[in-house]
Amino acid sequence: MGNCLASPVENHSPIVTQPSTSVDGKEKAIKPSKSSNNRHGPENKGSTAAGGGGTVAELVPPSGRIILTPNLKKFTYAELQSATRNFRPEAVVGEGGFGTVFKGWVDRETLAPSKPGVGMPVAIKKSKLESCQGLQEWKAEVDLLGKFNHPNLVRLLGYCREGKYFILIYEYMEGGNLETHLFRNGGDRIPWDTRLNIATGTAQGLTFLHSSADKVIYRDFKASNILLDRDFNAKLSDFGLARLGPADNKSHVSTRIIGSYGYADPEYIATGHLYVKSDVYGFGVMLLELLTGLKVIDVRRPSEALNLIEWAKPSLAEKRKLKKIMDPRLENQYPPRAAFQVAKLVLKCLQLQPKHRPSMEEVLVTLQQINNSIMVNPN
96 and 12 Cβ atoms separated by less than 8 Å: yes
CB 314 within 8 A of CB 343: no
HSE-up of residue 208 (Cα within 13 Å, Cβ side): 24
| Catalytic entry in 193, 220, 238, 265 | 220
- Half-sphere CA count of 217, side-chain side, radius 13 A: 29
Residue 124: strand pairing partners: 102, 169
| Half-sphere CA count of 108, side-chain side, radius 13 A | 9
Maximum Cα–Cα distance across the chain? 60
Any idea what DSSP says for residue 141?
Answer: I
Between vectors from CA 141 to CA 138 and to CA 143, what angle results, nearest 5°? 105
Q: Is 214 a catalytic residue?
A: no
Q: Which amino acid is at 339?
A: A
Round to whole Å and give the CA distance between 329 and 190: 8
d(CA 139, CA 142): 5
**Dist CA 273 CA 372 (whole Å):** 36
Express the helix, strand and coil content of the chain in percent, nearest 5 each.
Answer: 35, 15, 45
From residue 341, how far is each of 316, 363, 371 by CA, in Å?
Answer: 10, 12, 10
Q: Which of 184, 177, 64, 82 is nearest to 124 (CA)?
A: 82
Return the amino acid letter for 6.
A
Q: Which residues does the annotation mark as catalytic? A: 220
